[in-house]
Amino acid sequence: MASENTLKKGNVLIGCDLGISRTNCALCLDFFFNPKAEIIHRGYDRYFGYEMVNIYKNLSDEDKKAMGWDEEFDKNFIKSLKSYGYCMDM
Protein backbone atom coordinates (compact mmCIF):
# COMPACT_ATOMS: atom_id res chain seq x y z
CA MET A 1 0.00 0.00 0.00
CA ALA A 2 1.29 3.45 -0.89
CA SER A 3 2.09 5.90 1.85
CA GLU A 4 -0.23 8.84 2.44
CA ASN A 5 2.39 11.14 0.91
CA THR A 6 2.58 9.34 -2.44
CA LEU A 7 0.26 11.81 -4.21
CA LYS A 8 2.25 14.73 -2.85
CA LYS A 9 5.46 13.32 -4.34
CA GLY A 10 3.94 13.37 -7.82
CA ASN A 11 4.83 9.81 -8.67
CA VAL A 12 1.43 8.22 -9.02
CA LEU A 13 0.09 5.98 -11.74
CA ILE A 14 -3.59 5.17 -11.52
CA GLY A 15 -5.21 2.66 -13.80
CA CYS A 16 -8.28 0.48 -14.02
CA ASP A 17 -9.20 -2.42 -16.25
CA LEU A 18 -12.74 -2.83 -14.95
CA GLY A 19 -14.39 0.13 -16.66
CA ILE A 20 -16.41 1.16 -13.61
CA SER A 21 -15.10 4.75 -13.37
CA ARG A 22 -13.14 4.37 -10.14
CA THR A 23 -10.06 5.73 -11.87
CA ASN A 24 -11.98 8.78 -13.11
CA CYS A 25 -13.31 9.31 -9.59
CA ALA A 26 -9.84 9.15 -8.03
CA LEU A 27 -8.36 11.52 -10.61
CA CYS A 28 -11.26 13.92 -10.19
CA LEU A 29 -10.79 13.99 -6.41
CA ASP A 30 -7.07 14.62 -6.82
CA PHE A 31 -7.69 17.39 -9.35
CA PHE A 32 -10.09 19.31 -7.09
CA PHE A 33 -8.69 18.60 -3.61
CA ASN A 34 -4.94 18.67 -4.29
CA PRO A 35 -3.72 22.23 -4.88
CA LYS A 36 -0.50 20.85 -6.36
CA ALA A 37 -2.16 18.45 -8.77
CA GLU A 38 -0.68 18.62 -12.24
CA ILE A 39 -3.22 16.52 -14.07
CA ILE A 40 -5.71 17.40 -16.75
CA HIS A 41 -9.33 17.30 -15.66
CA ARG A 42 -11.29 15.02 -17.96
CA GLY A 43 -14.59 15.21 -16.10
CA TYR A 44 -16.73 12.82 -14.19
CA ASP A 45 -20.45 12.36 -13.58
CA ARG A 46 -21.76 15.90 -13.02
CA TYR A 47 -23.67 14.70 -9.95
CA PHE A 48 -20.37 13.76 -8.31
CA GLY A 49 -20.30 17.43 -7.31
CA TYR A 50 -22.71 16.60 -4.50
CA GLU A 51 -20.18 14.10 -3.12
CA MET A 52 -17.31 16.56 -3.40
CA VAL A 53 -19.31 19.24 -1.58
CA ASN A 54 -20.10 16.73 1.16
CA ILE A 55 -16.40 15.91 1.52
CA TYR A 56 -15.56 19.63 1.54
CA LYS A 57 -18.09 20.38 4.28
CA ASN A 58 -16.52 17.69 6.46
CA LEU A 59 -12.92 18.86 6.12
CA SER A 60 -11.39 20.44 9.19
CA ASP A 61 -8.91 23.30 8.99
CA GLU A 62 -6.25 20.74 9.93
CA ASP A 63 -7.31 18.52 7.00
CA LYS A 64 -7.03 21.43 4.59
CA LYS A 65 -3.64 22.42 5.97
CA ALA A 66 -2.36 18.84 5.62
CA MET A 67 -3.39 18.86 1.94
CA GLY A 68 -1.60 22.14 1.33
CA TRP A 69 -4.66 24.36 1.02
CA ASP A 70 -4.24 28.08 1.51
CA GLU A 71 -6.98 30.64 2.06
CA GLU A 72 -7.24 31.44 -1.66
CA PHE A 73 -7.59 27.76 -2.66
CA ASP A 74 -10.29 27.25 -0.02
CA LYS A 75 -12.15 30.38 -1.07
CA ASN A 76 -12.24 29.25 -4.71
CA PHE A 77 -13.00 25.54 -4.16
CA ILE A 78 -16.78 25.72 -4.76
CA LYS A 79 -16.33 28.19 -7.63
CA SER A 80 -13.98 25.71 -9.25
CA LEU A 81 -16.52 22.89 -9.00
CA LYS A 82 -19.21 25.11 -10.50
CA SER A 83 -16.93 26.23 -13.32
CA TYR A 84 -16.58 22.59 -14.41
CA GLY A 85 -20.35 22.10 -14.39
CA TYR A 86 -20.73 19.94 -11.29
CA CYS A 87 -24.09 19.91 -9.55
CA MET A 88 -24.05 20.95 -5.94
CA ASP A 89 -26.23 22.01 -3.07
CA MET A 90 -24.54 25.01 -1.48
43-83 tens-digit pLDDT: 677 788 888 899 999 999 999 999 999 999 999 999 998 88
What is the pTM assigned to this prediction? 0.66
CA distance 28 to 41: 7
Find the angle CA(11)-CA(50)-CA(84) to the nearest 5 degrees: 65
pLDDT of residue 1: 45
Measure the CA–CA gap between 44 and 26, rounded to whole angstroms.
10
